[in-house]
């Protein structure tokens, strides 16, 4: 299986998703999108494959979202994509890509149904248990 993660190592959710991918036995291609952002066409394709409006992939917290007034409903997708290209920090993360799916993995356990079974117990950085010792999702995280 080929897995790619658009990753920000400063983001706890992104680090947890990367760890869950590795806990499944996969070694993903890691793209630190702040250093190597996707092209505009790649980003538009990723968002289309996620199946959500462009606006749903905008990150608001700790970004120039408010300064750029991106909450203006009159802004069309092209303007939002332009803003994300000019300020990659506006791209919410992590985005995980497999042959079958593309997903914005927030919360981190969203990635689990894209992967082979977990190989071991897993807890998030904050200590919250997600997967038990048998590789099964802990009930409170079940869909």
Catalytic residues: 11
Torsion of Cα atoms, 34 then 39 then 44 then 45, to 10°: -110
Q: How many helices (H) and strands (E) does the chain have?
A: 3, 6
Q: Residues 96, 114: contact at Cβ < 8 Å? A: yes
């Amino acid at each position: 299986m080929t897995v790619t993660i658009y990753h920000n190592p400063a983001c706890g959710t992104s680090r947890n998703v990367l760890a869950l991918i590795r806990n499944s036995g996969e070694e993903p291609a890691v793209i630190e999108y702040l250093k190597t952002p996707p092209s505009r066409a790649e980003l538009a394709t990723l968002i289309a494959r996620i199946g959500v409006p462009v606006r749903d992939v905008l990150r608001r917290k700790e970004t120039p979202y408010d300064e750029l007034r991106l909450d203006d409903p009159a802004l069309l997708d092209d303007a939002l994509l332009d803003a994300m290209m000019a300020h990659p920090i506006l791209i919410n993360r992590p985005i995980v890509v497999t042959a079958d799916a593309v997903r914005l993995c927030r919360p981190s356990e969203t990635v689990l149904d894209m992967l082979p079974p977990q190989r071991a117990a897993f807890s998030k950085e904050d200590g919250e248990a997600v997967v038990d010792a048998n590789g099964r999702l802990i009930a409170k995280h079940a869909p």
